[in-house]
Amino acid sequence: MKCNHKLVVSFALLGSFAFAFNGCNKNVRQSNNPNPFEERVLKEAKTNLDLSQITLRVGASEGRNGQSVIKAAKLDNTPYKVDFNVLQSGNLTMSALSAHQLDLGTGSQIPPLFASQAANGGNFKIIAIRKGATLDQELLIKKDSPIHSISQLKGKRVAYVKGTTAQYFLAKMLKNAGLSWQDIDAIPTSTSDGLFALLSGKVDAYASYGNAVLTAHQKGAKTLESAEKILSGDYYWYATPAAINDPKKHAAIVDYLARYHEANEWAREHPEEWSEIYSNENNQTPEDFLQILNQENKQSHARVAPIDEKTITSEKDIADTFHDLKLLNNRGDIHEIFDDSFKAEIGKFTPY
């Protein structure tokens, strides 16, 4: 089956964004002997609808959050076409949903809060939880820093990535230490600029996540405090109302989430094989990715879960925090960005 590779598309939402659609997988594997994970998918997402004419447009910031792990687990033999798009951030995923470029996307708890401020409400609903780890989200200091506690940051220059989990957990850390946002010299920055500022001594601390944290440690930075216990570990699957309300696309979404759910169990049972496959895509050595994977699996099992009150409460706390920081003009009713119409179907997924 021919795979379409889309050129860079640009449009405006919350500013001007550009993103690249770069890959898809369309019914490339036919098998009369489904593997155990596929057998579970067929039970979890059983439907009598003909999905052969459906194309499900999916977006994520990296392949491990979607098509790459599904393909590695040999679960990409979907009864519908999949147009999978790697976008560079959760904000771009929300932009694509708003512009009707995607049916389904995934990202953190933060982007939907900003997207919901748009005139059309962002053209999305949160339909499921993507459970994950909260590692590599830290407040960093230099190796030789005299700072040993959050309370010592009063009056200090602290870099952070604005409008992200980094700003959220920094605000929570300050509050827990009896400080306010106004007690520090808060400096918004990009992940790369913040890292440079920390290592060059231009700031006293730096709140960041992901590769920036890993690189900082490689260059000698220390953890002042981890956000491991502050963040929920809940990431989301978002879908457009049109896709949710279309019976066939709804069924395709359930099937895709079941495949992602089972693919992560395959990856957990085959960590070396998964690391060898994915390291070619994410520019890490298999050994480095395996180490990260093992650490994540010790903390949390990546899986799909239905929307619950706990995650809604967590989302409300983030909204309240960002409203207090004047990042959100209107908190609104946080329940309005959630949709529980997939709850019963996801509840049938095998628990891991």
Three state DSSP letters for the chain:
CCCCCCCEEEEECCCEEEEECCCCECCCCCCCCCCHHHHHHHHHCCCCCCCCCCEEEEEECCHHHCHHHHHHCCCCCCCCEEEEEECCCHHHHHHHHHCCCCCEEEECCCHHHHHCCCCCCCCCEEEEEEECCCCCEEEEECCCCCCCCHHHHCCCEEEECCCCHHHHHHHHHHHHCCCCHHHCEEEECCHHHHHHHHHCCCCCEEEEECHHHHHHHHCCCEEEEECCCCCCCEEEEEECHHHHHCHHHHHHHHHHHHHHHHHHHHHHHCHHHHHHHHHHHHCCCHHHHHHHHHHHHHHCCCEEECCCHHHHHHHHHHHHHHHHCCCCCCCCCHHHHECCCCHHHHCCCCCC
Q: Is 74 contained in some domain?
A: yes
Of 226, 243, 262, the one marking the end of a domain is 226
Do 203 and 251 lie in one domain? The reply is: no
Q: Is 327 contained in some domain?
A: yes
Do 187 and 317 lie in one domain? The reply is: no
Do 127 and 243 lie in one domain? The reply is: yes
Do 217 and 248 lie in one domain? The reply is: no
Q: Is 2 contained in some domain?
A: no
The structure tokens listed for 317 are 């706390």
Do 317 and 334 lie in one domain? The reply is: yes
pTM of the predicted model over 0.95: no
pLDDT of residue 19: 40
Q: Is 3 contained in some domain?
A: no
Do 16 and 122 lie in one domain? The reply is: yes
Do 145 and 38 lie in one domain? The reply is: no
Domain of residue 291, residue span: 8-133+233-346
pLDDT of residue 119: 86
pLDDT of residue 32: 58
Number of domains in the chain: 2
Q: Is 1 contained in some domain?
A: no
Do 123 and 144 lie in one domain? The reply is: no
Of 170, 193, 226, the one marking the end of a domain is 226
Q: Is 49 contained in some domain?
A: yes
In the predicted model, residues of the chain with pLDDT beneath 70 are 1-34
Do 246 and 273 lie in one domain? The reply is: yes
Q: Is 351 contained in some domain?
A: no
Contacts of 320 (CB under 8 A, 6+ apart): 331
In contact, 230 and 172? CB cutoff 8 Å: yes
Burial of 148 (0-12, 13-18, 19+ CB in 10 A): exposed
Strands 16-20 and 55-60, sheet pairing? unpaired
pLDDT of residue 25: 45
Do 97 and 242 lie in one domain? The reply is: yes
Do 77 and 179 lie in one domain? The reply is: no
Supply the CATH number for residue 310's domain.
Answer: 3.40.190.10
Do 142 and 274 lie in one domain? The reply is: no
Q: Is 207 contained in some domain?
A: yes
Of 226, 259, 284, the one marking the end of a domain is 226
